[in-house]
Amino acid sequence: MPFLHIFTTISRTQIPDNFGPMLARLLSQTLRNKTADRVAVHIVGDQYISIGDNQEQQPIALVYLRSIGSMDFPDNRKTVRAVTDYIHTNLGIEPSRIRMILQNYSTDMIASGGQLVCDQLQPPQ
C-alpha cells in the first residue's frame, strides 16, 4: 500500500488531471508486488519551498514515497529515476530541483480500513 506525496511550488492548475492515476500506474511497474489500485498519490501545489540560499523562482518538488517491503537498493534506483523523469516530463520541474525521500515501513506501521496491515494478513481464526 504505497503512499506518494508530492509538495511543489507549481500551481495546482498546472497539474494535469490524470497526473495521479498515471503516476500510480508507473509505481506499480517499479515497486515489487504493488498494483496501481493500491497506490495512493497525494499532490499539493502552490507551496512555498526553497532549496539553499538560492533566490531563483524555478519550480521545486519534494517527494516522499512510503511503502511496505518493496524497497531495496536496485528497486530504489529504478523508482527514483522513473518518478523523477515522470515529474520532469509532466510538470516541467528540472531533476536537480526534485528531492525524494523513500521510506520502507513494516506491516505494523500502516493501516487501511481501520486495521493494521499486519492484522489484515493474519489468517481468520
Complete domains list, the chain, with CATH: 3-120 (3.30.429.10)
CA separation for the pair 125, 120 (Å, rounded): 12
CA separation for the pair 36, 27 (Å, rounded): 7
Model pLDDT, residue 43: 98
Cut 0.75: pTM above it: yes
> How many Å separate Cα 84 from the centre of its chain?
10
Model pLDDT, residue 20: 97
Average pLDDT for the chain: 92
Angle (CA) 39-35-72 rounded to 5° is 80
| Contact of 10 with 19, CB cutoff 8 Å | no
SS3 category, 16: coil
Model pLDDT, residue 69: 79
- How sure is the predictor about 52, in pLDDT bands with cuts at 50, 70 and 90? confident
26, amino acid identity? L
